[in-house]
Amino acid sequence: MRSRLRDPVAVLPAADRPARELLDAVRAGGVDVRTLELVRLRVSQINGSAAGVEAAAGAARAAGVGDAPLTAVAVWRDSPCFTPAQRAALGLAEAATRLADRPEAVSDRVWDRAATHYDEKGLAALILLIGVTNLFDRLDTTTRRIAGAAAPRN
């Protein structure tokens, strides 16, 4: 497989700073970094982004996520590896990534479950991370960014 285009953020370097600032804001939102990286990994899995999956898995390992949760994140509903808060974040990530899969994209049930574990700042951080990860995954899949071929977006 060959990339179609260099990373668009590298081609238009003015986009790099705002993207990094968004990710810095997400990290300041009070959500455990391991949960953030699991969310990022799950979003990239759903989107089929090889570069995103590789980057998120590496970042999750660096944040202290063990092999069992990394292996089980795709089947988080059926795995004992995740806390209730992580499950709520992963449910929100799936709903907000698969917007067209159901009439009510993010149901009240999914939202309420997340809101029981995260305050407004934490919810904002999760939503921003989900959105930014979806953006990067769309860039990567459209350009066929090769996993491991470029620096990860952290």
DSSP helix/strand/coil, 78 = helix
Name the phi and psi angles at 82, rounded to 5: -115, 145
Q: How many structural domains compose the chain?
A: 1
pTM of the shown model: 0.88
Chain segment 65-86, per-residue pLDDT in tens: 999 999 999 999 999 999 999 9
Q: What is the pLDDT of residue 140?
A: 84
Q: What is the mean pLDDT of residues 9-20?
A: 75
Within a domain: residue 153? no
Residue bearing tokens 């009070």: 30
Within a domain: residue 93? yes
End-to-end CA distance of the chain: 24
Chain segment 95-130, per-residue pLDDT in tens: 999 988 888 889 999 999 999 999 999 999 999 999
Helix axes of 16-27 and 33-47: crossing angle, nearest 10 degrees: 130
CATH number at residue 52: 1.20.1290.10
Give residue 118's domain range. Answer: 25-139
Mean pLDDT of the chain: 89
90 pLDDT more than 90: yes
Total length of the chain: 154
